[in-house]
Amino acid sequence: MNLIVDVGNTLVKFAVFQEDKLLEKQSVEISQFEELLKNIFDNYPKIRKSILSSVGNLPKEALLNLEKRCEVLVLNADLKFPFQNCYATPHTLGVDRMALVTASIKHYSHQNVLIIDAGSCITYDFVTKDNDYLGGAISPGIRLRYKSLHQLTANLPLLDTEVPKTIVGDTTAGAIHSGVVIGIIKEIDGVIDEYREKYPDLTVILTGGDSIFLSKQLKNSIFANSNFLLEGLNFILEYNTH
């Protein structure tokens, strides 16, 4: 039984896997790490190993507490991965992107795959049918765009995410929703179209916190999987401990 710990800037995601089956997942603020960790091991005493993926700042005491409970693998670029990493600066590649690429190999090996992760940022990662990871792109996510318009201008309000009624915003709020949401939809569809011109057999995966919101509006055919990152982390743990 495996424990997956994915540390972001403000939240920590926990997931428990029995082989390939996801049994439970929860998200909490980093300050609640210790409390939830105890609850998970109380509920799943058969957990024997864990993988830690961190793009945030996990307190050292929290890591030590995890290491007291089970074997811990810390995700980094020096681990074994089931793909050829052709990224020019592999040690600057985000650990979350490594996990997403790994998940694509597990589920879609020997296919041309574009993974789109719609979270705080929108990342695009491309893997060839030869399992070569070539790289991709990083773009501001939905909330980052709303916040930037508010924080970097004098008079624009901070709005909640909303599907615009029309592309022509006839109010300031309507114009912001159109610019942010329709802008992102057109960006994603445009990127997919660009890849499909070169790779007609392309498989597209959409994941991340905004994946459900966005998937309903895209014109391109995609597979939406909100657990793709967690599945990739679980596979990396198995790949490096067997």
Domains and CATH numbers, the chain: 2-74 (3.30.420.40), 84-233 (3.30.420.40)
The percent helix, strand, coil of the chain (3-state, each to 5) is 40, 25, 35
Q: Catalogue the E-assigned strands of 8-65.
A: 11-18, 21-29, 49-54
The DSSP 8-state label assigned to residue 91 in this structure reads G
Instruction: Establish whether 189 is a catalytic residue.
Output: no
- Positions at the binding site for substrate: 87, 94-97, 172
- Pick out the residues of the known binding site: 6-13, 87, 94-97, 117, 120, 172
- The pTM assigned to this predicted structure is 0.91
Q: Of 178, 183, 194, which is closest to residue 136 (Cα–Cα)?
A: 194
For 182, the 3-state DSSP assignment is helix
Could you count the other beta carbons within 10 Å of the beta carbon of residue 29?
Answer: 10
Distance CA 131, CA 133 (A): 6
Three-class DSSP category at 45: coil
- From first to last of the 242 residues of the chain, give the pLDDT tens digit: 999 999 887 789 999 999 999 999 999 988 888 899 999 999 999 999 999 998 767 888 888 999 999 999 999 989 999 999 999 999 899 889 999 999 999 999 999 999 999 988 999 999 999 999 999 999 999 999 999 999 999 899 999 999 998 999 999 999 999 999 999 999 999 999 999 999 999 999 999 989 999 998 999 989 999 899 999 999 999 999 97
Q: Which residues are annotated as a binding site for ATP?
A: 6-13, 120
The residue from 20, 42, 96, 201 that is catalytic is 96
